[in-house]
Every structure is written in C-alpha cells, then in structure tokens.
Amino acid sequence: MKKGGASEENESVTKKSGGVLMHEKLITLMNLLMESSKPIPGVGIAEHLKLSRRTVINYINEINALAKNSIIMSSPNGYYIDKTAAASLLHTRQSAVPQNYQERSFYIIKALLINHIELINIYDLCDELCISLSLLKNDLKKMNQSYSFLKVKFVTQNNCIRITGDEKSKRQLVNYILQRMQDSDLIDIHHLKNFFDNNILEVILKIIDTAYVEKHYYINDFSRANLLLHFLIMVNRIKSGNIISKKTSDTNNYPLNNTSEYELVNLIKNQLEQSFSIMINNEEYIQLYLIVCSNSNYNMNTFEALNSYVDQDLLHFINKLLQEIEQKYYLDLHREGFRVMFTLHIKNFLFRLNSNVTVKSPLKNDLRNTLPFLYDIAIYITDRLINEYQITSSVNEDEISFILIHLAAEIERNKIIEKSVKCLLFVPKYLNIEQEVSKQILYYFGNQLVIIKVLSYEDSVNDLEFDLLISTTRVAIKSNHKIIYISPFLTKSDISIINNAIAEIQNTKQITYLSTNFHNYFSADNFIISNSQFTDKCEPIDYLCDLLLKNGCVKEDFYSKVVSRENSVSTGYDGFAIPHAISLDAVSNEIAVLISPSGIKWDNQNVYVVFMMSVSPDTLVDFQELYAGLSLLLTETSVIGRLRKCKTFEQFKEILLTTYFEV
C-alpha cells in the first residue's frame, strides 16, 4: 500500500490505521538509552543515529510529548531514560496496530475510501496488519456479510483489494463505520466523574433534572449528559475567572424572552448562579439559552437566534467548513442543533485565542488515542481556522480536544437517531402550538422516536428522510411513509395511535433487515428437509452441527458447546427451536435449517423447524438485528405451518420473507 511521504519537520510520526505509530528512529533512540547503564552525551546519540544534534533534541522533546511527561532527562554526563515509563510508552504505541476484525476492517475501509487508495496489495496489507493471508480472506468475507446492506462489496482481483458500489453507498459506509467505531464513553456521566469535581457535577446534574421536571420538558439520557458536560465547562471557566467579555447590546435584542424555553433557561441560570456564586453575563446567558435549546428536540427558533447573535462571516465559513468535511471525510454535520453548538464553540475558540485565554480540557489525554479518526478531523478543522483567520498564536491540545468532543457527541447522537423512528411533525403555526405538540410527543415517546423537523407547509416535505409523519391536520402529501393524524392536544387515543405506528415501523425495519441480509446467513448448502423419525432433539442437533462443520462455518468443539447450552435451558418453542453454542466463537455467522414435516419431540414441545445458529463475535451486533427480525416472524401463527410444508430452499425463502407483509 502506497503512503504519502512525511515532511522533514514531522517525519518522526507517521499516520497509519487511524492511530499514531512511532517512527523507527524514535524507537531506536529509546532502545539505545534503555540498553545503556549510564547517561549518553547528545553527540554520541547523534553519531549513533547519524543525525544532527538539533534533530536529536527535537526527537527527545517529541518522545517526552508523546509520554505526557519527561521520560528522557539530561544530566551533566548526558541523557538518560526512565526505563519503566519508556517500556510502557513503547507498548502503548505498538498497540495502535489493529488488533481485531473491527479495527482491521476500519483500517481497510479508511485506506480505500478516506486515503483514496484504489487498489491494495493483499500481501502488503498482510504485512502491515501482521496477519496471515487466510485471516485476511476471512475478514473480507465477514466485511462483505456485514456491509452488504449498504450495497458495497470488497473484491480481490490480481492479488489486490478494491471496493465496488456507487459513490453514495461508499459514503454511507464511511459514515456507518465511523458510528460503529465510536465506542468511547466520552459523554457518559460515569466517565465524566473521572475528570470533573464530583460535588460540582452532582449539583449541576440536580439543577438540570429539577428544571426539566419543574417546567415539564423532556430530555433524553444523551442530551442530559451533553448538557452536563457543557455546564461543567461553563461553570469551571467562570469560577476560574475566564469570563467572556460583555457586549454593549442587551439580551432583549435577541428573541429569547418570547420563546417557551425562556422560563426553563432562566431557572437553570439562576440555579447555577446561586449554587456556585457566579455571575452569568448576557453573552453567557445567550449561549446558555442556545445550548439548552440545541439539546431539546422541540426547539424551533435556535438558528434564528444564532443568526442574530453570531457574525455572518463566521456563519458562512462554518457552512463552508462543514461541506468540506463531508466531501473529505464523508461525515454529515449539517444538523441544525450541531451547527448551533459548533458555531458557538468556534466563536469562543476565536475569542480565547485573540484574548490569550486558556481553557483546560480534562479529557484531552484520552481522546487522541481513543478516537484517532476524529482527532484527524479535529486537526483539519483547526488548520482551516488558523488559515482562515490568520491565527499566529499556537493552538494547544485542549482546544483540539474540545473540537473533537463536538464531533464525537454528534456521532453518538446519530447512533441514537439511527435506532429511533425518524419523525416529521406537521403542525400549522398558531400561538406556538407546534412547540407544545412536539413537547408532549417527546414526553411520552422520547426514547422511541426523534423529531427531525417540524413543518408548517406541505411542500417542505420534499427530500427529507423520515419514517413517520405525524400531523394535526389533513395533508395532501403523497408519500410511501406512514402518516397518522392526532389532536393538537394529545389524548389517550392519540398516544395509542402513535404507539402502534412506532411498533409497526420498528417491526417493518427488522423484517426489511432480515430480507436484505437473508443471503448472508441462509444458504441451500445449510438447508435440509428430513423425513426421518427423530427420537429426540440430540439427533437433529448432531446432524446440523456436522453440516456446519463440513461447510467450514464452525470449529470441532461446536457440538459440545451447543449441547452444553441446550442442557442449561431448552431452546425449543411452540413449533420451532433455535439451538446455538454457549459461547459465540464460530468461524462465521450462518443459520442452518432443518425442516421435519412429521415433527421432533423437543423436551415438552413439538418442533417442525430447527434453526441452528453459529455466531461469530466480530459481527454479533449485525447478527442480533437479523435475529430480532427472525424472532418476530416466527411468532406469526401461520409461518411454522407453512414452512413445515415447503419442498425447496426457494419456497422456504419466499415464505419467510413474505409472511409478515401478508398478515
């Protein structure tokens, strides 16, 4: 795989697989000092490494920066190293090499789609990943299973890997991978307790919870943690004397006190001031308002308020920057709530640099290694800001980490949205009733749906992606999506209608996932119709385990693990059984099917269809989605009876994938 050359100034660090790997000469320098029993003069190090003394000093400074402490120190006799700390640093940097299937798949996708490498030589790739060719081929098979629903395929030809699919699908793949790889507890409250004063944290959390309950506003767990993080930073900044300068304009110039959120924001402001003996000035107050609104799905006027508060040149630059990020990294950051939060942050970022104000980030040491891809984007954003605003002062790691926090928070929110029902709310504007309707819906269904937009005009529905349209009035919108009608004042009947619509949409998504990915898990090779008279469940279990083993789907010990699981709790249900191993360590995700028209005595159940599941831990999340759809189908009263009578694999497939939509 070809890589771009590094410049002389930063050749000691090479970007690879989204992480930071130490340059060979840095490692050689550290090993030289670790092997020496006495200090080595700088000139001796320079001669050994064939470098200038200035470069040696730069390398030592860089090693100390990577270690976050001085592990190489100077003495009158030369340089010496803290050998324990050095060994730990070397181990940490070596661990940046992808260690499992998910990390390797991310590495390959990043190389193909972000680094824009059209072809990757499979042997070079094996060397880079330190894996065998057979393991690489198995990874590619899993990747084709995992990502087939996005209509992309990883193809090996002439010993090179390339990706096929249209551009939209490839961009969706990058976005999907980015969300799946975001496993950090970045905005988890328990994680925040490791970095902030717990007493301050608990007080702020109580203020948030009390205010939202008292003013009858809904806030989901993610938004609650997001608000907490912003308020922690705000309080700590003000308490340490880092006050944003006041403007001459009065708060009343902004449309704040005419909104339904005004009382909520005011309550939070007063509680923060009283609890921490601080003064929140007009500038801070406006941002407090915008932050609260941006973490509440029902706000309507946030961007309008932002337009009257932030310089138009900055707004234009932010829009341009977000477009560049989408084109370069395939990351969509155009959601209004994110733009508000991010624009506010950049406004303050520029203010701090111009005023030589420093804000410390307690999370910065975690972020660079935990979220390397997002760190790259944060660096890109920082560079663009430096160039656009001709910034001459240095930008520290704290500021970069704050930008990264915004990126990671948006990805986490997108993950929540992806699992939720996406809803459009159509409410004619009158006396701010649209806000009240939105607030009521989220109060009851905030953990199940996300209101992506509130509309007042029918023609504004075009080009919006959604699952459900809720309207308080009859609309002439032609759409294949679910449309339901409710009263402007939510009744018990309305709640029932919304609840049923959500359940229907979620069920349809599960069945659609099963249909789209059917061929990745079911095959004619692992399908059998048997007219044998099985005496008990052990015989069909043995038969299917042998079939999966013969087809290379499981390991030799699979049968014993299935029996162990079955002896613990029976997997037989009314008409079907789903036996599986007690541990999830199969070679690949496969579902072997055995149909017994005459039935099998499975403990206390009569079973006619057996689904033997082999589950690979690398793709467990994908498999769980498919399993949810399969379980939903099997609860339909007619499906087992119809499967029992099928004669071929194609009939089995047709019955499984059409039954739900016929009911």
| Any domain includes 7 | no
The predicted pLDDT at position 69 comes to 78
**pLDDT tens across 529-554, in order?**
998 888 889 999 999 999 999 998 99
How many whole angstroms separate alpha carbon 601 and alpha carbon 266? 67
The predicted pLDDT at position 506 comes to 87
**pLDDT tens across 3-23, in order?**
333 333 333 333 333 333 455
Are 499 and 370 part of one and the same domain? Answer: no
Are 227 and 356 part of one and the same domain? Answer: yes
Q: What percent of the chain has pLDDT over 70?
A: 82
How many whole angstroms separate alpha carbon 354 and alpha carbon 46? 40
Are 500 and 553 part of one and the same domain? Answer: no
Are 323 and 204 part of one and the same domain? Answer: yes
* Mean pLDDT of the region 454-464: 71
Q: 99: number of CA atoms within 13 Å, CB side?
A: 6
Backbone torsions φ then ψ of 186, nearest 5 degrees: -55, -45
The predicted pLDDT at position 258 comes to 55
Burial class (CB in 10 A: 0-12, 13-18, 19+), 373: buried
How many whole angstroms separate alpha carbon 402 and alpha carbon 399? 5
How many whole angstroms separate alpha carbon 471 and alpha carbon 456? 10
CA distances from 323 to 418, 446, 475 (A): 22, 30, 33
**pLDDT tens across 132-188, in order?**
899 999 999 989 988 888 889 999 999 999 999 887 788 778 767 765 654 444 456
* Mean pLDDT of the region 43-69: 85
Are 451 and 501 part of one and the same domain? Answer: yes
Are 435 and 579 part of one and the same domain? Answer: no
Please report the DSSP string for 120-181 in residue order: EEHHHHHHHHT--HHHHHHHHHHHHHHTGGGT-EEEEETTEEEEES-HHHHHHHHHHHHHHT
Q: Which of 492, 515, 538 is the last residue of a domain?
A: 515
The predicted pLDDT at position 433 comes to 83
Q: Which residue has the tokens 């060719």?
A: 133
Which residues form the domain of 623? 522-662
Q: What's the whole-number average pLDDT of the chain? A: 81
Q: At what angle are helices 397-419 and 221-239 packed, to 10 degrees? A: 160
* Mean pLDDT of the region 323-330: 86
Q: Which residue has the higher pLDDT, 197 or 494?
A: 494
Distance from CA of residue 128 to its chain's centroid? Answer: 26
Name residue 431's beta-bridge partners.
none
**pLDDT tens across 373-387, in order?**
788 789 889 999 999
Q: What percent of the chain has pLDDT over 90?
A: 26
The predicted pLDDT at position 14 comes to 31
Identify whether the C-beta of residue 412 lies closer than 8 Å to the C-beta of residue 377: no
Are 216 and 336 part of one and the same domain? Answer: yes
Domains held by the chain: number: 5
* Mean pLDDT of the region 606-614: 92
Residues in the chain: 663
Identify whether the C-beta of residue 396 lies closer than 8 Å to the C-beta of residue 434: no
The predicted pLDDT at position 70 comes to 86
* Mean pLDDT of the region 214-238: 78
Q: At what angle are helices 558-568 and 538-550 packed, to 10 degrees? A: 150
The predicted pLDDT at position 4 comes to 36
Closest CA to 413 of 655, 224, 171: 224
Q: Which of 180, 214, 237 is the last residue of a domain?
A: 180
Are 264 and 377 part of one and the same domain? Answer: yes
Q: Which residue has the higher pLDDT, 106 or 221?
A: 106
**SS3 for 484?**
strand
Are 309 and 374 part of one and the same domain? Answer: yes
Closest CA to 537 of 574, 572, 573, 565: 572
The predicted pLDDT at position 452 comes to 84
Identify whether the C-beta of residue 393 lies closer than 8 Å to the C-beta of residue 402: no
The predicted pLDDT at position 12 comes to 35
